Amino acid sequence: MLGSVKAKRQASRSRGRRNVRATPYHHGSLDTALLDAAERILEEKGIQGLTLRATAREAGVSHAAPKNHFGDLTGLLSELAARGYERFCAMMVGDVRKTDTPMQRMQAIGRAYVAFAHAHPGMFMLMFRSERLDMKRPALRDAAHAAQRLLTDAVAAGRRENVEHILTLPQAAAIVAAWSLVHGFAMLLLDDRLNPILARTQVGTTSEMLLETILTSPQVGHRAR
């Protein structure tokens, strides 16, 4: 259930500290080891706890290693966000079936969007913190564009249109409406702002049920078109 977000998030982090404890780096890709360490810190302590020095300590390498590989904290955060976007894309298409109608495809992507935010709150928040990222870095730029293209293409399919580089106003409005819906729901969920509404609904109603009702409502389908 997505409803008890804080409790689940804290339990998940506790399990991570017990079961995914860092081991000193010995061999292999140092870039990967540093990103793995940074990701652990991000999910356990949030972006405020993520520094170059903390990353080096978590990875068991010299304090100079992150700077040598990523330049500065913005570089590290940007490469970490690129990793997040790659997983985000994979999750959004993971439950899409070839036999899905355009509307079913949009719904599957919407569910995955929110599920990713719930499962990886630290990463999700980082990915959309543009003031901390360098969007000119190729890995991040390409990964973020790929995620945006998934949403764009899903909305275009629902409208039975081809989306060109220059969007028409109705196309742009439909894309922003769909994006706002799932992103807004994800943020409300992470901020525990859905709890008062769920408390006023029938006993047993979950945030998954609420999201499903929103995604399958005729009004949503109409706005997408």
Instruction: Compute the distance between CA of residue 181 and CA of residue 178 in angstroms, rounded to an integer.
Output: 5
Largest CA distance in the chain: 56
Tell me which DSSP letter residue 130 carries: G
Tell me the Cα Rg of the chain. 19
What are the structure tokens assigned to 159, written together?
A: 């409208």
Over residues 157-212, the pLDDT tens digits come to 887 777 666 788 988 999 999 999 999 999 999 999 999 999 999 999 999 999 99
This prediction has a pTM of 0.83
| Tens of pLDDT, residues 59-89 | 999 999 999 999 999 999 999 999 999 999 9
Tell me the C-alpha distance between 173 and 179, whole Å. 10
Question: Among residues 59, 119, 111, which one has the least CA distance to residue 87?
Answer: 119
pLDDT tens per residue across span 17-30? 444 444 455 546 99
Q: What is the predicted pLDDT for the residue at 130?
A: 82
What is the dotted CATH code of the domain comprising 5-224?
1.10.357.10
Phi, psi of 95 (to 5 degrees): -100, 5
Query: Where do the domains of the chain lie?
Result: 5-224
Q: Work out the mean pLDDT of the chain and round it to a whole number.
A: 87
- The DSSP string of 26-68 is -SS-HHHHHHHHHHHHHHHH-GGG--HHHHHHHHTS-TTHHHH
Sign of dihedral through CA atoms 218, 4, 185, 109? negative
